[in-house]
Amino acid sequence: MTTTNKPMIITCLLMLIHLTFSDGADTDVACLKAFKTSIQDPKNYLSSWDFNTNTTGYICRFIGIQCWHPDENRVLNINLSDLGLVGMLPVGLAKCTSLTGLDLSGNRLFGHLPSNISKMLPFLTNLDLSSNNFSGQIPRDLANCSFLNILKLDNNRFSGRIPVELGRLSRLKEFNVANNSLYGQVPVFKSVNVSAESYAGNPGLCGGPLPRCR
């Protein structure tokens, strides 16, 4: 490499960084717009999400939103628990490409979780969907959200077996599926001892801290 090429390489790098950043920001704004559009909000908590402002990092001041940096529209955590929100898990959340925490507990959300949830939310460390009305099976693909520390799905209407693959989640510290309609053998977890209370209120779970499966 000759020295004359250096400025050009640096320029390219700067352009790349700039593109990456503005891209992230634009998609994160689109993410929150999609979220607001696809969710019913009977108590109007999200009416304060005003997309007609344009100061840097404006979405970081929205209720329930925490950014990686206060002056950059890149969402770190979404925490909208107990707001009476109604609807399905918005697929537009995939556009929050750097999201690590999602707490939508205590709302009135329903429907199945997407079977490609790890493609939508690959960097999640904390997923709390407890106390909603989600149903269907717990997606096997959650096992591919490999950064998960906390997974709370209790007090919903999930049914079927708990995917054994979840046992592979090597960073898991908290797992709760109490009060659903789950049955069968519970997974063997590598990184956490799940208590019987975290399985309570399901008709047919067995194994682990529960009575042996027959």
Ligand X SMILES: *[C@@H]1O[C@H](CO)[C@@H](O)[C@H](O)[C@H]1NC(C)=O
Give whichever of 60 and 120 is closer to ligand X, judged by the CB atom: 120
Which parts of 13-72 interact with ligand X (CB under 6 A)? 52, 54
Secondary structure (H, E, C), 10-46: HHHHHHHHHHHHHHHHHHHHHHHHHHHHHCECCCCHH
Stretch that binds ligand X, among 1-9, 35-43, 187-195, 204-212 (CB under 6 A): 187-195
Residue 105 φ then ψ, to 5°? -65, 155
Report how far residue 129's alpha carbon sits from residue 87's, in angstroms, rounded to the nearest whole number: 13
> In the 8-state DSSP scheme, what is residue 186?
P
Give whichever of 38 and 79 is closer to ligand X, judged by the CB atom: 79
The reply to whether 179 sits near ligand X by the rule CB under 6 A is yes
**According to CB under 6 A, which one of 141, 161, 174, 184 is a site residue for ligand X?**
141
Stretch that binds ligand X, among 11-19, 34-42, 55-63, 73-81 (CB under 6 A): 73-81
The reply to whether 144 sits near ligand X by the rule CB under 6 A is yes
- Residue 99 falls in which region: left (phi positive, over 0), alpha (psi -120 to 50) or beta: beta
Question: How many residues bind ligand X, per CB under 6 A?
Answer: 30
